Amino acid sequence: MTLSRLWGNILVLCCGLGWIVETGDAYTWTADMPHGNASVEYRLKQFLMRGYDITSRPVRKDSTAIDCQLGMSLFHILDTSERHQTVSALMSLRVHWRDEYIRWNRSEYKIDKIWIPARSIWRPDLIITNYANDEYSDYINTNAIVEWTGRVMWTFPIVVKMYCTLDVRYFPFDTQDCNVTFMSWTYDGYRLNLNHTGAKDQKVYYEPRNQEWMVTVIVPWRENQMYPCCPEPFPVLHFTIHMYRRYLFYVINLICPCLLIYCVSFLGFFLPIESGEKVNLEITVLLALVVFLLMVSENMPPTPDAVPVVGLLFSVTMVMVALAVVMAVTVTFVFFAQPHTPPPAYILRLARFYRRWRRRPAATAAAAAARRHQRVHQQQHILCGG
Please indicate, yes or no, whether residues 138 and 236 belong to a single structural domain of this protein: yes
Produce one character per residue of 329-361: b if its CB has 16 or more CB atoms within 10 Å, e if not.
eeeeeeeeeeeeeeeeeeeeeeeeeeeeeeeee
DSSP letter (8 states) at residue 252: I
Would you say residue 31 lies in a domain? no
Please indicate, yes or no, whether residues 229 and 268 belong to a single structural domain of this protein: no
Q: What is the pLDDT of residue 82?
A: 84
Would you say residue 292 lies in a domain? yes
DSSP letter (8 states) at residue 131: B
Please indicate, yes or no, whether residues 262 and 134 belong to a single structural domain of this protein: no
Would you say residue 343 lies in a domain? no
Please indicate, yes or no, whether residues 124 and 202 belong to a single structural domain of this protein: yes
Please indicate, yes or no, whether residues 139 and 80 belong to a single structural domain of this protein: yes
Contact indicator for 315, 300 with CB cutoff of 8 Å: no
Would you say residue 346 lies in a domain? no
What is the phi/psi pair of residue 306, to 5°? Answer: -130, 95
Would you say residue 298 lies in a domain? yes
Please indicate, yes or no, whether residues 233 and 296 belong to a single structural domain of this protein: no
Would you say residue 273 lies in a domain? yes
Please indicate, yes or no, whether residues 256 and 232 belong to a single structural domain of this protein: no
Please indicate, yes or no, whether residues 300 and 156 belong to a single structural domain of this protein: no
Range(s) of the domain holding residue 304: 249-335
| pTM tops 0.85, yes or no | no
Please indicate, yes or no, whether residues 238 and 158 belong to a single structural domain of this protein: yes
Would you say residue 282 lies in a domain? yes
Please indicate, yes or no, whether residues 200 and 320 belong to a single structural domain of this protein: no
CATH code of the domain covering residue 188:
2.70.170.10
Q: What is the pLDDT of residue 223?
A: 92
Would you say residue 161 lies in a domain? yes
Please indicate, yes or no, whether residues 241 and 286 belong to a single structural domain of this protein: no
Q: Which residues of the chain have pLDDT under 50?
A: 1, 17, 19-34
